Amino acid sequence: MAAVERPFVEIDQVSMRYGGAEGTLALRDATLSVARGEFVAVVGPSGCGKSTLMKLVSGLWPSSAGSVIVGGQEVDRPLPMVGMAFQNPTLLPWRTILANVMLPLEVVEPHRRRLRAERAAYEAKARQLLAMVGLAGFEGKYPYQLSGGMQQRASLCRALIHDPQLLMLDEPFGALDIFTREDLWAQLQEVCLTLKPTVILVTHDLKEAVYLADRVLVMSSRPGRILAERRVPFPRPRRLDDTYTAEFQALVHELRDHINAARQGQETDHAA
Ligand SMILES: Nc1ncnc2c1ncn2[C@@H]1O[C@H](COP(=O)(O)OP(=O)(O)OP(=O)(O)O)[C@@H](O)[C@H]1O
């Protein structure tokens, strides 16, 4: 019998309170796991603790209770194996797009040590990633010379340059118009099918969640915990046209119903 592989991310009964004993309880007894190579989307009412969950998994904040294990190791400091992209692309304005994408290589080992000797190979990789997201020819430009969507693509390349085992995406397309967003879904899907990282995506956009994820987790209102989960059965690569099918729309509606119930405090646990 084949051995069952341990989940890559294991969050067990995690609680998180900001600001001491009287502070805000952001998460209570949140439990979830993510398999290696799986793409999970986390959705839920505004302020329910989604970003907090991301901070705990990436080691940016310690949890108040419970355990967070990534790659078999308890998370107790920022993890170098994580690539992150947020709603705001946060590119450094004084660096070119290529230099921005290469930034993690100057920080994360073993790349940091190798960078001087292997700069040409790393630069070729950065150019290849930029080409994958349609930014060939923009390597020497500065962030202000690119649109918001182009900056967001560059920040996605920066999140991927050091071959992260875990890609954490917190509303990465939230500030973009719907056409740019849909364009980037396709590019992210292609990147993920090629590089196969484990991905946790936080989003408010249920269509985005269903298009991109293998599994969608729905959080309760604050203090957040996982209320429901839904596996997305549609084959890959998914196309934008697929988002208009009855099956796709039904799944989006089902998730919306879960979130509406969560917003009204009807915290009925349900797994599908
Ligand atoms: N640094 C902080 N200090 C104190 N409270 C915080 C801090 N960060 C978040 N919170 C609070 O914790 C709760 C959860 O916040 P979090 O940002 O995780 O929610 P979210 O689900 O990501 O929200 P949204 O969907 O609106 O982006 C909120 O009530 C928020 O005000």
118 or 265: which leads in pLDDT: 118
For residue 10, the CA-to-ligand 1 centroid distance in Å is: 21
Contact 222, 23 (CB under 8 A): no
Which of 11, 17, 18, 56 gets mutated to test ligand 1 (max ligand atoms within 8 A of its CB)? 18
Q: So what's the pLDDT on residue 263?
A: 81
In this structure, the residue with its CA closest to atom 2 of ligand 1 is 18
- Euclidean distance between CA atoms 137 and 173, whole angstroms: 22
- Residue 1's pLDDT band (cuts 50, 70, 90): low
51 close to ligand 1 (CB < 6 Angstrom): yes
Residues 104-126: pLDDT tens digits?
999 888 888 888 888 999 999 99
Q: How far apart are CA 132 and CA 106, in angstroms?
A: 22
The residues spanned by each domain of the chain are 91-164
Any atom of ligand 1 within 6 Å of the Cβ of 28: no
Q: How far is the CA of 175 from the centre of ligand 1 (A)?
A: 18
pLDDT tens column, 212-241: 999 999 998 889 999 999 999 999 999 999
Say how many Å lie between the CA of residue 251 and the centre of ligand 1. Answer: 27
pLDDT at 266 over 80: no
Cβ of residue 222 lying under 6 Å from some atom of ligand 1: yes
- At residue 2, the pLDDT reads 62
Single-letter amino acid code for the residue at 112 = R
Strand 166-170 to strand 82-86: parallel, antiparallel, or no bridges (unpaired)? parallel
Question: What is the rounded average pLDDT for all residues in the chain?
Answer: 89
Highest mean pLDDT among 22-31, 149-158, 205-214: 205-214
